[in-house]
Amino acid sequence: EACQAKMHGWSNMSKEDRDQFFLDRQNILVPELMKSLSAGQQCRIPNPIQTFQQAFHDYPDLMRGFHRQGFTEPTPIQCMAWPILMAGLDFIGIAQTGTGKTLAFLLPGFVHLEGQTKPRNQRRGPTVLILSPTRELATQIQTECERFSYHGIRCVCVYGGADRRTQLKKLEEGCDVVVATPGRLNDLLDSGKIS
């Protein structure tokens, strides 16, 4: 469930400023894919944010994380992803490797994870699932998750070709975010080790 995430600085950009903003960033395209709107209903894609502050003003520990890592500004895909994801809307983000997609998805994930109304011990499994096609990407994502460690959120990586028991043990020790390759995830689901 998307929680009530707070965001400051929903920018009152004019349409011209917004178009220029996208042009200045390798001509980002932001197509609306929502097909199921009834007549007269409008799904407005929020304007992009331009600073960490605009997205995460109310989450000082995330702000400290940016500072700690020496980040100066959000990457283009983060500018567009954060207002959409913080609003709890669905988002597909496509951009070159190394453009910050991991944190684009992960940080709103942390916020929604913490904002759940159902207590952790009443949820049946990990709260966040990140699926990765390859083991290499899965471990990269987990590294990023740990580097940005936030409020003790625990991240476990499960993938094939590595010791299943070690991974199970980590899952049993507690897991908020699971990063998984599909084969190993299915295996753990089928054997009832994860929900």
Distance of CA 160 to the CA centre of its chain: 23
**Residue 164: CB minimum distance to ligand ADP, A:** 27
Q: Are strands 155-158 and 128-131 parallel, antiparallel or unpaired?
A: unpaired
Site of tokens 């490797």? 97
What is the total count of residues that contact Mg ion (CB under 5 A)? 1
Q: In the bound complex, which residue of the shown chain has the CB atom lying closest to Mg ion? A: 97
CA distances from 194 to 15, 22, 88, 158 (A): 46, 41, 25, 11
Instruction: Give the range of 9-17, 26-34, 92-100, 154-162 binding Mg ion by CB under 5 A.
Output: 92-100
Closest by CA to 121, choosing from 163, 175, 64, is: 175
Contact indicator for 122, 171 with CB cutoff of 8 Å: no
* β strands within the chain, DSSP E: 128-131, 155-158, 177-180
Site of tokens 């940080």? 107
Strand, coil or helix: what is 184? helix
Strand, coil or helix: what is 156? strand
**Residue 139: CB minimum distance to ligand ADP, A:** 12
Instruction: Give the range of 45-53, 64-72, 94-102, 172-180 binding Mg ion by CB under 5 A.
Output: 94-102
Binding site for ligand ADP (CB under 6 A): 71, 74-75, 78, 95, 97-103, 144
Residue from 27, 36, 97, 121 binding Mg ion (CB under 5 A): 97
**Residue 15: CB minimum distance to ligand ADP, A:** 26
Residue number with CB closer to ligand ADP (106 or 158):
106
**Residue 53: CB minimum distance to ligand ADP, A:** 13
Residue number with CB closer to ligand ADP (87 or 95):
95
Q: Using CB distances below 5 to 8 A depending on partner kind, what does residue 99 bind out of Mg ion, ligand ADP, none?
A: ligand ADP
Residue number with CB closer to ligand ADP (95 or 168):
95
Chain contacts with Mg ion (rule: CB under 5 A): 97
